[in-house]
Amino acid sequence: MSSRTFLLTGATSGIGRAMAAQLVGPQVRLVLASRSRSEGEAVVKSLESKGEVLFRPLDLSSQRDVRGFAERFLAEEPRLDVLINNAGCQSQKPARSVDGLELVFATNVVGPFLLTRLLLERLKACAPARIVNTASTFAKGLDLEDLDFARRAYSDTAAYQASKQADRLFTWALARRLEGTRVTANAFSPGLVTSTGLYRDAPRSTLRILKVVSLFAGRTAEQGADTGAWLATAPELEAVSGRFYEKRKERPCEFRGRDAEEALWATCCRLSGLPE
C-alpha cells in the first residue's frame, strides 16, 4: 500500500498532539501545522521514531498566512489524502485578526474554510480522501449578522460556541458539494478536554471550575482525539460523509438546514474573498 499524506492543524497540544500520536505510523506521511515552530518541532521530535512526521508553521487567523501555507504545501506535497481541521482558539477579550475579523471566528471558521477550499482540488485528485473537522457539543448562538458582537455582550464562551456551530454548518455544506467526488467531510466532538490549549489564557476561577467539572465529565486528550483519528482512518468510513460523531457514535445534530448552511458558506466566501 502506498503512503498516505495527512495534514493536521493545531497539533502542538491537547487533542491535536494526541491525535498526531495516534495517526503516526507505517505508510503515513504526517504534516503538522500550528503557529508555534518550537512547539511543533518538539512534537515532531517526540514522534519521528514512529514514522514520517514534518512540521509547517501556520497561523489560521491570517488569511495571507493561510494562502502562503497552501501554496507551499501544494508545491511540496504531491498528495493529500486526509485533512484534519483541528486548530482552534478562545479569546478572553474581544480581539480582531490581522484581517479585521473577530479573532475566534477568523481562527476557528474562516481560516479552516479558506485552507480547505485552497487544498480541495488536491484532495479530489487523491480520492478517496477525507476531511475531518473538530467540532464541539458546546455549540450555539451563531449570528451571521453580528459576528463582531457589536450588538451583543462579548464573552469568550459565546464567541467559541458560535464558531463551533459554524464549523458544523460548514461541514454539512461542504459534504453536499463533495457528493460524487469520493472526498468525504465529517465532524466530531472530542468532549470536554481541559488539557487542550483552548484554556491557556482562562482566568484561574474558570480553570478551577473546569477542573471540578472534568472530574465528572472530562476526557483525556487521548480519549478526545480518538474519534477524530478513527474518522480519518477507519476503512468502513470511506464513503460516509456529512455526519457528526462523538465517542465513535453518530450523533444527531440540531444545526442542520440548507438555508443556514448556505448562509454560512456565503459568509465565509465573502470574508475570505473566494467565489461561492
Q: Report the catalytic residues.
A: 160
**Cβ atoms within 10 Å, residue 230:** 17
Burial label, 23 (beta-carbon count in 10 A; 0-12, 13-18, 19+): buried
- Strand order of the β-sheet with 82-85 is 52-57, 28-34, 4-9, 82-85, 129-134, 183-189, 244-246, 249-250
Question: Where is 169: in which H helix or E strand?
Answer: helix 156-177
Secondary structure letter of residue 218 according to DSSP? B
Contacting residues for 10 by C-beta, under 8 A, at least 6 apart: 16, 33, 34, 86, 87, 88, 134, 197
